[in-house]
Amino acid sequence: MRGLNIAIAGCGPCGLAAALLLHRTGHQVTLFERFDTPRPIGSGLMIQPTGMAVLGQLGLLDDVLRRGSRIDRLFGKAGERVVLDVHYAALRHSDMFGIGIHRASLFAILHEAALRAGITVHTGRTLVDSEPVGAQRALRFADGETSIPYDLVVDALGTRTPLAPPTGRELAYGALWASLDLPQDARFDPHALAQRYDRASIMAGVLPIGTPPGAATPKAAFFWSLRADRLGDWHQAGLGPWKARVTALWPACAPLLDQIDDPDQLTFARYAHRTLRSPAERALVHIGDAWHSASPQLGQGANMALLDAWALAKGLADANGVDEGVRLGIKLRRRHVLTYQWLTALFTPVYQSDSRVLPLIRDRLVGPLSKFWPATSIQAAMVSGLVANPLGPLGLESPLHMPAPESVAA
């Protein structure tokens, strides 16, 4: 099925990837973005082997490799105890890895590709709803205008999309994020996501993210877990007490904290756990965080969105009608989505909660046991996004034989 007139709401990585894939399969695509100039929001993220498989099909993986930083290991300590030590080398294909990348870098790569493809982007259009028009669907904007009817509307507006009914729950814990210069010494492994914990209520992390647009040196995403209802107290207390708390937990972070002299350098990210029971209506489909969102604990958000976009394009290509194609795309993704929603809900309280029992079990039991097979392989499969075989049904292959770390690290 080709030649559909498709509107995509949202010009983030999810919407841009969907636009590129649907345009490539012969559909007329129009993107709608609320900002006057499309731009990313946030700091760093992880591209896993699942996301790399889609980016490879788009011909954009080499650009992502150049702009990001290869991640071979996830490592975390609680005091002197190692409670997280995940190596991608534990996977059956030991040459796999992750990529830490700034959201601005991923956005720029996808946005530039969309512009090269000639995809139409309407900016400054804030969406408030959609409405069926026969077998098609129109978009309603905040200024009162209504679009022409489209054969399909793709909702890629994220967790708080106005195009889907409210569902799920806000998570108590969010995180403060900042993109900072990565210290050029031995304090941080440039190929590892490092974390430190104090119980489950305090978590700090450092993720190398390459060199984003406009930067001259490699960056790291620094994050600090914080309850949303304590954000006001954090602002009122000032940076001094907070910096002292961070360095007491993790002295190596001092060179990072020295770069922060204004609270506005830190962005607070809120998270929600939600899954739409039915991610499709007539001529409307929700993908990415608009369908399913969760804590970033397992680092799957952008990768799940890329897989959703691929599945939608494949479903429409293999079907004889719009509704049939949407249903097929959802069917191809449902098992993997539900598996990771369950896994994330299970593991998030272990690392972000007020519980005293869960971190005790993590530090004294799960952490030591996770150093041995088969736990090493299971953990690597979880963080790589490969649990529940997401690639096979989509006709995708794991990206193998990647360049050596020296040639892809920022």
pLDDT of residue 39: 67
Kindly state which CATH superfamily the domain 5-167+272-394 is placed in: FAD/NAD(P)-binding domain (3.50.50.60)
pLDDT of residue 374: 79
pLDDT of residue 407: 33
For residues 393 and 311, give the distance between their C-alpha atoms in angstroms, rounded to a whole number: 9
Asked if the bond preceding 374 is cis, omega within 30° of 0, the reply is yes
Check the CA dihedral 105-111-117-118 and report its sign: negative
* pTM, two decimal places: 0.94
Query: What is the residue whose two structure tokens read 């999810």?
Result: 14
Q: Which of 8, 29, 32 has its CA nearest to residue 123?
A: 32
pLDDT of residue 194: 96
Strand partners, 269: 175
pLDDT of residue 310: 98
For the chain, give the percent of residues with pLDDT over 90.
82
Amino acid at 18: A
- Centre a 10 Å sphere on the Cβ of residue 335 and count the other Cβ atoms it contains: 13
Q: Give Cα 295 distance to the centre of its chain.
A: 10
User: In which residue ranges of the chain is pLDDT below 70?
Assistant: 1, 38-41, 94, 186, 400-410
Strand partners, 268: 176
Contacts by 217-220, CB closer than 8 A, 24 or more apart? 217/181, 217/182, 218/69, 218/181, 218/182, 218/190, 218/410, 219/44, 219/102, 219/179, 219/180, 219/181, 219/182, 220/44, 220/179, 220/180, 220/181, 220/182, 220/188, 220/256
pLDDT digits (tens, 9 = 90+) for 333-371: 999 999 999 999 999 999 999 999 998 888 887 777 777
For residues 83 and 397, give the distance between their C-alpha atoms in angstroms, rounded to a whole number: 31
pLDDT of residue 398: 77
